[in-house]
């Protein structure tokens, strides 16, 4: 087994085939398709959780499916309406509709499981799936606590199965371009990183707004950015400090226990300082999403709203848009890459280590905010 190297956009699209309609796997020679289920060539997927995100993942899977290589054979959700709707979307594949996830994991016609259940259940479901001999595509983050992170990490290492985290930005042209320019030395040594996610919306009910279940705003949502930082900088932070809480949305709704804003500062190796802020009550027109990496000699790179990359070389900034072609949906590329990694026995780009450091970075920031002190990385690595 070997680990997939960090990818440039061109090399990624070349190795995945830059395909739609499931032709990624179909394009592989027969010798590159490990026998995942006896005499058949199908890679058989079971979906565990088909709420908002799970249904979205199912839709993307069906968009890139090839009936000769990939099948959805089972769908599990405790909500019968969501479960039945998901089964119906699969049409002639007629996957089994299941209430108890343990029944899904016992099935011999499931090779890999897509886990999109609430975050506080990720550890339970991922560990059980791996123990049952299933490959896993698990939505981010790994869990709301360091204990969850450690539990899944150890289970993956013990299992020998392919495990991919739902960090679709690792398969996104804009972020691949940002990673390329920084990691290739295009801005020199990185000194300072500033980033923000300022939006006007976030779920207002359910497990999302319960800190114990979601891990709070920084863990449930901003883990995407934490993944980008650790990926591009090829490291994890050493320590963090932060402030934040709930002010504008206090008591809206009454059961809210998550923050509505915060700002956190991280120190990375090599004297890199990173500052990140997040707010979910930003007025329309004043928000946005950006990651800015400042280097040496007037150089830097900024990705804004995922598709506009500005690079400064010797103090001269040049901006270019990186539109996603219709056939290049990052979630579909992530799913296709997951299939390829299973077929070719490769380590995914968004692997368990990516999930571990990004989730712990988010928890580190949350802990610093809650404890109102500097928190060291070693305090969370159990």
DSSP codes, 9-21: HHHHHHHH-S-ST
Tokens of 142: 């790994």
The domain segmentation of the chain, as residue ranges, is 2-169+329-351, 176-322+359-379
Instruction: Tell me yes or no: is domain 176-322+359-379 CATH 3.30.360.10.
Output: yes
For position 381, what pLDDT does the model report? 86
Closest by Cα among 225, 115, 221, 118 to 172: 225
For position 27, what pLDDT does the model report? 31
Tokens of 232: 């591009």
**Phi and psi torsions of 318, nearest 5°:** -130, 125
Closest by Cα among 126, 131, 140 to 160: 131
Per-residue burial over 65-98, b if 16 or more Cβ lie within 10 Å, else e, is bbeebbbbbbbbbeeeebbeebbebbeebebbbb
37 DSSP assignment: B
According to DSSP, the β-strands at 346-347 and 2-3 are parallel
Length of the chain: 382
Query: What's the pTM?
Result: 0.90
Class of domain 2-169+329-351: alpha beta
Same fold, 2-169+329-351 and 176-322+359-379: no
For position 29, what pLDDT does the model report? 31
Segment 275-278 long-range contacts (CB within 8 Å, at least 24 positions apart): 275/192, 275/193, 275/194, 275/195, 276/194, 276/195, 276/196, 276/222, 276/225, 276/229, 276/365, 277/195, 277/196, 277/197, 277/198, 278/196, 278/197, 278/198, 278/217, 278/218, 278/221, 278/222, 278/244
Contacts of 215 (CB under 8 A, 6+ apart): 119, 120, 141, 143, 144, 145, 362, 363, 366
**CA 163 to each of CA 134, 159, 206, 361: distance values in angstroms, whole numbers, following the listed order:** 9, 10, 27, 20
Query: pLDDT in tens for each of the 382 residues of the chain?
Result: 444 443 334 443 344 333 323 333 333 333 333 334 443 578 999 999 999 999 999 999 999 886 568 899 999 999 999 999 999 999 999 999 999 999 999 999 999 999 999 999 999 999 999 999 999 999 999 999 999 999 999 999 999 999 999 999 999 999 999 999 999 999 999 999 999 999 999 999 999 999 999 999 999 999 999 999 999 999 999 999 999 999 999 999 999 999 999 999 999 999 999 999 999 999 999 999 999 999 999 999 999 999 999 999 877 888 998 877 766 799 999 999 999 999 999 999 999 999 999 999 999 999 999 999 999 999 998 7
């Amino acid at each position: 087994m070997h680990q997939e190297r960090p990818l440039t956009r061109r090399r990624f699209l070349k190795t995945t085939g830059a395909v739609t309609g499931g032709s990624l796997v179909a394009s592989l020679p027969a010798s590159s398709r490990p026998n995942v289920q006896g005499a058949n060539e199908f890679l058989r997927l079971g979906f565990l959780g088909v709420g908002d995100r799970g249904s979205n993942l199912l839709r993307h899977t069906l968009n890139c499916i090839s009936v000769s290589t990939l099948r959805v054979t089972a769908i599990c959700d405790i909500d019968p309406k969501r479960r039945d709707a998901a089964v119906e979307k699969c049409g002639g594949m007629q996957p089994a509709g299941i209430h108890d996830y343990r029944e899904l994991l016992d099935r011999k016609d499931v090779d890999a499981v897509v886990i999109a259940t609430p975050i506080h259940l990720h550890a339970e479901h991922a560990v059980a799936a791996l123990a049952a001999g299933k490959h896993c595509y698990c939505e981010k983050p790994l869990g709301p606590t360091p204990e969850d992170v450690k539990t899944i990490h150890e289970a993956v290492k013990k299992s020998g199965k392919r495990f991919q985290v739902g960090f679709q930005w690792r398969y996104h042209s804009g972020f691949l371009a940002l990673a390329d320019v920084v990691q290739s030395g295009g801005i020199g040594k990185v000194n300072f990183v500033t980033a923000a996610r300022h939006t006007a919306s976030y779920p207002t009910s359910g497990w999302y707004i319960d800190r114990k279940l979601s891990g709070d705003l920084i863990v449930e949502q901003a883990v995407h950015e934490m993944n980008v930082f650790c990926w591009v900088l090829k490291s994890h932070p050493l320590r963090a400090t932060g402030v934040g809480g709930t002010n504008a949305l206090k008591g809206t709704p009454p059961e809210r226990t998550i923050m509505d804003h915060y700002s956190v500062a991280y120190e990375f190796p090599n004297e890199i300082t990173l500052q990140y802020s997040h707010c979910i009550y930003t007025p329309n027109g004043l928000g946005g999403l950006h990651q800015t990496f400042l280097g040496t000699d007037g150089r830097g790179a900024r990705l804004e709203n995922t598709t506009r990359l500005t690079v400064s070389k010797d103090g001269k900034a040049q901006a270019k848009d990186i539109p996603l072609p219709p056939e290049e949906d990052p979630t579909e590329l992530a799913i296709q890459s997951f299939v390829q990694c299973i077929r070719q026995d490769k380590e995914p780009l968004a692997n368990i280590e990516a999930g571990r450091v990004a989730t712990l970075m988010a928890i580190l920031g949350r802990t610093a905010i809650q404890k109102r002190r500097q928190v060291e990385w070693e305090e969370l690595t159990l």
